[in-house]
Structure 1
Amino acid sequence: MIKIAFASKDGKLVNEHFGWCEKFYIYTLDEESYELISEVDSSKVYEAEVDKLEYKIECIDASDILYVTKIGPKAANMVKIAGTYPLKSSSEDEKIEDVLQSLQKLMKNSPPLWLKRILLK
Protein backbone atom coordinates (compact mmCIF):
# COMPACT_ATOMS: atom_id res chain seq x y z
CA MET A 1 0.00 0.00 0.00
CA ILE A 2 1.45 3.34 -1.02
CA LYS A 3 0.33 6.84 -0.11
CA ILE A 4 0.00 9.60 -2.73
CA ALA A 5 -0.58 13.32 -2.20
CA PHE A 6 -2.24 15.25 -5.03
CA ALA A 7 -2.04 19.03 -5.35
CA SER A 8 -5.53 20.02 -6.50
CA LYS A 9 -7.91 22.97 -6.39
CA ASP A 10 -11.02 20.78 -6.66
CA GLY A 11 -10.12 17.21 -5.64
CA LYS A 12 -10.79 15.97 -9.18
CA LEU A 13 -7.90 17.27 -11.28
CA VAL A 14 -4.17 17.62 -10.70
CA ASN A 15 -4.16 21.38 -11.21
CA GLU A 16 -2.04 23.03 -8.54
CA HIS A 17 1.58 24.11 -8.03
CA PHE A 18 3.21 22.55 -4.95
CA GLY A 19 4.21 25.84 -3.33
CA TRP A 20 0.83 27.51 -3.94
CA CYS A 21 -1.38 24.52 -3.13
CA GLU A 22 -4.03 25.25 -0.49
CA LYS A 23 -5.28 21.67 -0.20
CA PHE A 24 -3.72 18.27 -0.71
CA TYR A 25 -5.78 15.17 -1.35
CA ILE A 26 -4.14 12.08 0.13
CA TYR A 27 -4.92 8.63 -1.28
CA THR A 28 -3.79 5.12 -0.45
CA LEU A 29 -3.27 2.79 -3.39
CA ASP A 30 -2.50 -0.84 -4.08
CA GLU A 31 -2.85 -2.99 -7.21
CA GLU A 32 -6.56 -3.55 -6.67
CA SER A 33 -7.99 -0.42 -5.06
CA TYR A 34 -7.47 3.18 -4.04
CA GLU A 35 -9.12 5.36 -1.44
CA LEU A 36 -9.15 9.03 -0.48
CA ILE A 37 -8.01 9.04 3.14
CA SER A 38 -7.75 12.76 3.84
CA GLU A 39 -8.04 16.29 2.55
CA VAL A 40 -5.29 18.39 4.10
CA ASP A 41 -5.61 22.16 4.43
CA SER A 42 -2.26 23.65 3.42
CA SER A 43 -3.30 27.31 3.19
CA LYS A 44 -1.14 28.74 5.98
CA VAL A 45 1.08 31.56 4.67
CA TYR A 46 4.78 31.90 5.52
CA GLU A 47 7.13 34.76 4.64
CA ALA A 48 10.31 32.74 4.28
CA GLU A 49 10.42 30.30 1.35
CA VAL A 50 12.13 27.54 3.34
CA ASP A 51 9.49 27.79 6.08
CA LYS A 52 6.71 27.61 3.46
CA LEU A 53 8.25 24.55 1.79
CA GLU A 54 8.82 22.75 5.10
CA TYR A 55 5.18 23.41 6.01
CA LYS A 56 3.95 22.06 2.65
CA ILE A 57 6.09 18.93 3.13
CA GLU A 58 4.53 18.42 6.57
CA CYS A 59 1.08 18.74 4.96
CA ILE A 60 1.67 15.86 2.55
CA ASP A 61 1.86 13.62 5.60
CA ALA A 62 4.82 11.38 4.72
CA SER A 63 3.31 10.39 1.38
CA ASP A 64 5.36 8.11 -0.86
CA ILE A 65 4.50 10.14 -3.99
CA LEU A 66 3.64 13.80 -4.51
CA TYR A 67 1.73 14.53 -7.73
CA VAL A 68 1.61 18.19 -8.81
CA THR A 69 1.27 20.41 -11.87
CA LYS A 70 4.52 22.22 -11.10
CA ILE A 71 7.27 22.15 -8.50
CA GLY A 72 10.45 24.19 -8.34
CA PRO A 73 13.88 22.51 -8.21
CA LYS A 74 14.55 23.56 -4.59
CA ALA A 75 11.15 22.29 -3.46
CA ALA A 76 11.55 19.04 -5.42
CA ASN A 77 14.91 18.45 -3.74
CA MET A 78 13.45 19.10 -0.27
CA VAL A 79 10.54 16.74 -1.01
CA LYS A 80 12.96 14.00 -2.12
CA ILE A 81 15.11 14.47 1.00
CA ALA A 82 11.91 14.05 3.07
CA GLY A 83 11.43 10.64 1.43
CA THR A 84 8.67 11.49 -1.05
CA TYR A 85 8.97 11.05 -4.82
CA PRO A 86 7.71 14.15 -6.71
CA LEU A 87 5.92 13.69 -10.05
CA LYS A 88 4.58 16.34 -12.43
CA SER A 89 1.28 15.94 -14.24
CA SER A 90 1.26 15.99 -18.01
CA SER A 91 -1.40 18.72 -18.08
CA GLU A 92 -3.68 20.80 -15.83
CA ASP A 93 -6.69 18.73 -16.79
CA GLU A 94 -5.27 15.35 -15.78
CA LYS A 95 -7.80 13.54 -13.59
CA ILE A 96 -6.67 12.19 -10.23
CA GLU A 97 -8.65 9.02 -10.92
CA ASP A 98 -6.78 8.48 -14.21
CA VAL A 99 -3.44 8.91 -12.45
CA LEU A 100 -4.41 6.37 -9.79
CA GLN A 101 -5.50 3.84 -12.41
CA SER A 102 -2.32 4.41 -14.40
CA LEU A 103 -0.19 3.80 -11.30
CA GLN A 104 -2.13 0.60 -10.60
CA LYS A 105 -1.32 -0.65 -14.11
CA LEU A 106 2.36 0.17 -13.57
CA MET A 107 2.32 -1.69 -10.25
CA LYS A 108 0.73 -4.81 -11.82
CA ASN A 109 2.83 -5.00 -14.96
CA SER A 110 6.38 -3.73 -14.90
CA PRO A 111 6.95 -0.98 -12.36
CA PRO A 112 9.78 1.42 -13.21
CA LEU A 113 12.72 1.53 -10.82
CA TRP A 114 11.43 4.57 -8.87
CA LEU A 115 8.12 2.78 -8.20
CA LYS A 116 9.86 -0.50 -7.29
CA ARG A 117 11.82 1.39 -4.63
CA ILE A 118 8.59 2.79 -3.16
CA LEU A 119 6.91 -0.62 -3.19
CA LEU A 120 9.88 -2.19 -1.39
CA LYS A 121 9.76 0.32 1.49
Structure 2
Amino acid sequence: MNHLTRHLRLTDEDAPSLRLAFASGDKKTVDQHFGSCERLMVYGVAPDRYELLQVAGFNVAQGHDLDKLETRMRVLDGCFAVYCVAVGESVFRQLLARGIRAIRVEPGTRIPDLIAQLQAQWPTTGQHQARASKDPSRFAEFEDGGWD
Protein backbone atom coordinates (compact mmCIF):
# COMPACT_ATOMS: atom_id res chain seq x y z
CA MET A 1 0.00 0.00 0.00
CA ASN A 2 1.28 3.45 -0.86
CA HIS A 3 0.99 5.55 2.29
CA LEU A 4 2.13 8.83 0.72
CA THR A 5 -0.78 10.56 -1.03
CA ARG A 6 0.74 13.97 -1.81
CA HIS A 7 4.22 15.36 -1.50
CA LEU A 8 5.11 18.97 -2.23
CA ARG A 9 8.78 19.97 -2.03
CA LEU A 10 9.81 23.56 -2.48
CA THR A 11 13.37 24.15 -3.59
CA ASP A 12 15.21 27.26 -2.56
CA GLU A 13 18.98 27.42 -2.49
CA ASP A 14 18.81 30.15 0.17
CA ALA A 15 16.43 28.19 2.43
CA PRO A 16 17.42 27.97 6.10
CA SER A 17 19.27 24.74 6.80
CA LEU A 18 17.75 23.78 10.19
CA ARG A 19 14.80 21.61 9.26
CA LEU A 20 11.88 21.01 11.63
CA ALA A 21 8.80 18.87 10.97
CA PHE A 22 5.33 19.20 12.48
CA ALA A 23 2.56 16.56 12.56
CA SER A 24 -0.47 18.61 11.58
CA GLY A 25 -3.93 17.97 10.23
CA ASP A 26 -4.93 21.62 9.92
CA LYS A 27 -1.56 22.96 8.63
CA LYS A 28 -1.46 25.52 11.46
CA THR A 29 -1.06 23.57 14.70
CA VAL A 30 0.55 20.40 15.97
CA ASP A 31 -2.47 18.18 16.48
CA GLN A 32 -1.49 14.66 15.42
CA HIS A 33 0.22 11.49 16.64
CA PHE A 34 3.37 10.87 14.55
CA GLY A 35 2.51 7.32 13.51
CA SER A 36 -0.99 8.17 12.31
CA CYS A 37 -0.62 11.78 11.18
CA GLU A 38 -2.31 12.77 7.97
CA ARG A 39 0.31 15.40 7.19
CA LEU A 40 3.89 16.43 7.97
CA MET A 41 4.89 20.05 7.44
CA VAL A 42 8.66 20.64 7.12
CA TYR A 43 10.07 24.13 7.67
CA GLY A 44 13.54 25.56 7.24
CA VAL A 45 14.41 27.74 10.22
CA ALA A 46 17.04 30.44 10.73
CA PRO A 47 17.46 32.88 13.64
CA ASP A 48 15.49 35.61 11.89
CA ARG A 49 13.18 33.80 9.47
CA TYR A 50 11.53 30.53 8.50
CA GLU A 51 9.90 29.11 5.42
CA LEU A 52 7.84 26.12 4.41
CA LEU A 53 9.97 23.59 2.53
CA GLN A 54 7.81 20.49 2.28
CA VAL A 55 4.29 19.18 2.85
CA ALA A 56 3.62 15.44 2.78
CA GLY A 57 0.13 13.97 3.01
CA PHE A 58 -0.50 10.37 4.04
CA ASN A 59 -3.24 7.77 3.96
CA VAL A 60 -4.28 7.38 7.56
CA ALA A 61 -4.19 3.73 8.53
CA GLN A 62 -4.55 2.52 12.10
CA GLY A 63 -2.30 -0.11 13.58
CA HIS A 64 1.39 -0.85 13.43
CA ASP A 65 2.59 -1.02 9.85
CA LEU A 66 6.35 -0.78 9.32
CA ASP A 67 5.93 0.55 5.79
CA LYS A 68 3.64 3.31 7.07
CA LEU A 69 6.27 4.44 9.57
CA GLU A 70 9.13 4.12 7.08
CA THR A 71 7.27 6.36 4.62
CA ARG A 72 6.91 9.04 7.31
CA MET A 73 10.54 8.71 8.37
CA ARG A 74 11.78 9.15 4.79
CA VAL A 75 9.98 12.50 4.69
CA LEU A 76 11.95 13.48 7.81
CA ASP A 77 15.38 12.85 6.24
CA GLY A 78 17.57 15.82 7.11
CA CYS A 79 15.27 17.09 9.87
CA PHE A 80 16.59 18.01 13.30
CA ALA A 81 13.27 17.35 15.06
CA VAL A 82 9.64 16.41 14.60
CA TYR A 83 6.95 17.96 16.80
CA CYS A 84 3.90 15.80 17.50
CA VAL A 85 1.28 15.21 20.20
CA ALA A 86 2.41 11.61 20.73
CA VAL A 87 4.93 9.07 19.53
CA GLY A 88 5.43 5.45 20.53
CA GLU A 89 8.55 4.45 22.44
CA SER A 90 9.82 2.17 19.68
CA VAL A 91 9.34 4.84 17.00
CA PHE A 92 10.93 7.43 19.30
CA ARG A 93 14.07 5.26 19.43
CA GLN A 94 14.02 4.68 15.67
CA LEU A 95 13.84 8.42 15.06
CA LEU A 96 16.66 9.06 17.52
CA ALA A 97 18.81 6.46 15.76
CA ARG A 98 18.35 8.53 12.58
CA GLY A 99 19.39 11.69 14.43
CA ILE A 100 15.85 13.08 14.65
CA ARG A 101 14.43 14.24 17.96
CA ALA A 102 10.72 13.63 18.60
CA ILE A 103 9.29 16.47 20.67
CA ARG A 104 5.87 16.03 22.24
CA VAL A 105 3.70 19.13 22.62
CA GLU A 106 0.14 19.84 23.70
CA PRO A 107 -2.50 19.36 21.00
CA GLY A 108 -3.30 22.63 19.25
CA THR A 109 0.11 24.22 19.80
CA ARG A 110 0.64 26.70 16.98
CA ILE A 111 3.53 25.97 14.61
CA PRO A 112 4.70 29.63 14.40
CA ASP A 113 4.82 29.76 18.22
CA LEU A 114 7.06 26.68 18.38
CA ILE A 115 9.38 28.14 15.75
CA ALA A 116 9.50 31.47 17.62
CA GLN A 117 10.42 29.66 20.86
CA LEU A 118 13.31 27.95 19.09
CA GLN A 119 14.46 31.19 17.48
CA ALA A 120 14.42 32.95 20.87
CA GLN A 121 16.95 30.39 22.15
CA TRP A 122 19.21 30.69 19.10
CA PRO A 123 22.73 31.70 20.17
CA THR A 124 23.91 35.04 18.89
CA THR A 125 27.24 35.46 17.12
CA GLY A 126 28.72 36.98 20.31
CA GLN A 127 27.73 33.88 22.30
CA HIS A 128 29.46 31.64 19.75
CA GLN A 129 32.61 33.73 19.95
CA ALA A 130 32.57 33.75 23.76
CA ARG A 131 32.32 29.96 23.86
CA ALA A 132 35.07 29.55 21.29
CA SER A 133 37.41 31.97 23.02
CA LYS A 134 37.38 30.29 26.45
CA ASP A 135 40.82 29.45 27.77
CA PRO A 136 41.51 25.75 27.08
CA SER A 137 43.55 25.49 30.27
CA ARG A 138 40.64 26.58 32.49
CA PHE A 139 40.29 23.08 33.95
CA ALA A 140 43.97 22.70 34.82
CA GLU A 141 43.40 23.82 38.42
CA PHE A 142 40.84 21.03 38.87
CA GLU A 143 43.23 18.43 37.47
CA ASP A 144 45.94 19.72 39.80
CA GLY A 145 43.50 19.25 42.67
CA GLY A 146 42.96 15.56 41.80
CA TRP A 147 39.83 15.83 39.67
CA ASP A 148 39.48 13.68 36.55
TM over 0.5: yes
Aligned residues: 108
Whether 1:101 aligns to 2:116 is yes
Name the % identity.
26
Tell me, yes or no, if the aligned pair for 2:38 and 2:58 is still in contact at 8 Å.
yes
Deviation (angstroms), 1:46? 8.9
- The letter of the residue matching 2:68 is K
Deviation (angstroms), 1:40? 1.0
Please state which structure has a larger fraction of its residues in helix.
1
Query: Whole-Å Cα distance in 2 between the matches of residues 58 and 86 of structure 1?
Result: 15
Higher relative contact order (CA 8 A, sep 6+): 1
The residue number in structure 1 matching 2:99 is 83
- State the structure with more CA Rg: 2
Deviation (angstroms), 1:55? 1.6
Deviation (angstroms), 1:48? 5.4
Query: Whole-Å Cα distance in 1 between the matches of residues 29 and 62 of structure 2?
Result: 26
Task: Tell me the alpha carbon deviations over residues 46-92 of structure 1, each in whole angstroms, 9 at most, x when there is no partner.
Answer: 97532222221012233111110100000111111112111111x11
Distance 1:73 1:48, change over 3 A: closer
Structure 1 stretches lacking a partner, 5+ long:
110-121
Tell me, yes or no, if the aligned pair for 1:41 and 1:59 is still in contact at 8 Å.
no
Tell me, yes or no, if the aligned pair for 1:16 and 1:70 is still in contact at 8 Å.
yes
Within 5 Å, give how 1:1-121 maps onto structure 2: 1-43=17-59, 45=61, 49-89=65-105, 91-108=106-123
Distance 1:44 1:61, change over 3 A: farther
Tell me, yes or no, if the aligned pair for 1:27 and 1:35 is still in contact at 8 Å.
yes
